[in-house]
Amino acid sequence: MQTYTNPVYQGYFADPFVWQYEGVYYAIGTGAAEAEGNINNIDTANRLRVFPLLRSFDFCNWHFAGNALLRTDPALGDNFWAPEVAYSDGQFYLYYSVGHEDKNHQLRVATSNTPLGPYQDVGKPLVDPNTCPFAIDPHPFCDDDGQWYLFYARDFLDTEGGVRVGTALFVDRLQTMTKLAGEGKVVLRARSDWQRFLANRWMYGEIYDWHTLEGPCVRKHEGKYYCFYSGGRWETENYGVDYGVADNVMGSYSDAGNETGPRVLKSVPNFVRGPGHNSIVLGPDGHTEYVVYHAWTQNMDMRQICVDKLIWTPEGPRCQGPTWTPQTIT
């Protein structure tokens, strides 16, 4: 029996995505320099690459393994957010967003022959920035038939049917691993007060009561598709993880039942603040599922990677956490 205590890595590591390849676990995330858009915060050895990588041989002990992505054209921006990696036909694909602070973020993809990279950008955006000026948090999902899809977050300004203005979730089929089919559909929109990011926010030339759903992560369980997401304002204790469920990968999804707050992960006052932006991976036993997420340090100076078990209950998925005491890996 091995044990771990959250956070499982002491450095800055936000938006964690974990995958397993040939018996080894890898994690990629947003580092401090990527989040701030400050190249000077990256050590000299990795000045030309972005996105920190971690590696673990036992799922408990994680070690820094370099940075993944060869830095792109500076004109695209210096804010690199929320990378995720897919493996298909012998190639690794790194999906990410790049932009300037909270605007002009575009989705892109880079490739590598090895999990640790370096990853080279393919040279074009996945979504046209002229028609979608803000797209973040790409999440590749492979269905049982081998077809890949890309879930991501983008902005919506309409309120039709009682939905809230803000960032919400979208999905499109991947025609190839580097090209979307253009068949996109809305996955989920904000409907509840706990999902508010900021009141009276100046966006797109107007003032809005802005809401946010972000960080999609999809899992198929007993024939249904569960799209986990994080809602609210990422720096605050109201931020947490909820989900929508659908019978079809393209929807429609429903997150009814979450009106009073996130059901999967939420803050524990005085112990864990702002847990969110999760991925899901199988543990070493090959069947126990784990939610990998970030949470703030108590002094709010960094987000760190945490791990807790995913439990499927009759009421839906729940996380056996957040925890801050020693936990056993089964």
70, β-bridge pairs: 49
pLDDT for 225-262, tens place per residue?
Answer: 999 999 999 888 889 999 999 999 999 999 999 999 99
Mean pLDDT of the chain, nearest integer: 94
pLDDT of residue 44: 65
Distance, in Å, from the CA atom of 101 to the CA atom of 321, rounded to the nearest integer, reads: 31
pLDDT of residue 43: 65
Amino acid at 246: A
Strands of the sheet with 24-30, listed across from one edge:
14-21, 24-30, 49-56, 63-70
Answer whether 198's CB lies under 8 Å from 237's CB.
no
Residue 125 confidence (pLDDT) above 90: yes
Residue 330 confidence (pLDDT) above 80: no
Residue 314 confidence (pLDDT) above 80: yes
pLDDT for 96-120, tens place per residue?
Answer: 999 987 678 999 999 999 999 999 9
Answer whether 54's CB lies under 8 Å from 27's CB.
yes
pLDDT for 23-79, tens place per residue?
Answer: 999 999 999 988 887 766 666 656 789 999 999 999 999 999 999 999 999 899 989
What is the architecture, at CATH level 2, of domain 2-329? Answer: 5 Propeller (2.115)
> pTM for the complete prediction?
0.96
pLDDT for 186-232, tens place per residue?
Answer: 999 999 999 999 999 999 999 999 999 999 999 999 999 999 999 99
Answer whether 76's CB lies under 8 Å from 98's CB.
yes
pLDDT for 171-188, tens place per residue?
Answer: 999 999 999 999 999 999
Amino acid at 177: M
Mean pLDDT within 277-304: 95
pLDDT of residue 104: 86
pLDDT of residue 214: 98
pLDDT of residue 237: 83
Other CB atoms within 10 Å distance of the CB of residue 306 = 27
Distance, in Å, from the CA atom of 199 to the CA atom of 190, rounded to the nearest integer, reads: 14
Residues 6+ positions from 179 with CB-CB distance below 8 Å: 126
Mean pLDDT within 161-180: 97
pLDDT of residue 33: 87
Domain boundaries, the chain: 2-329
330 or 93, greater pLDDT: 93
Question: Burial letters for 50-64: b for 16+ Cβ neighbours within 10 Å, e otherwise?
Answer: bbbbbbbeebbebee
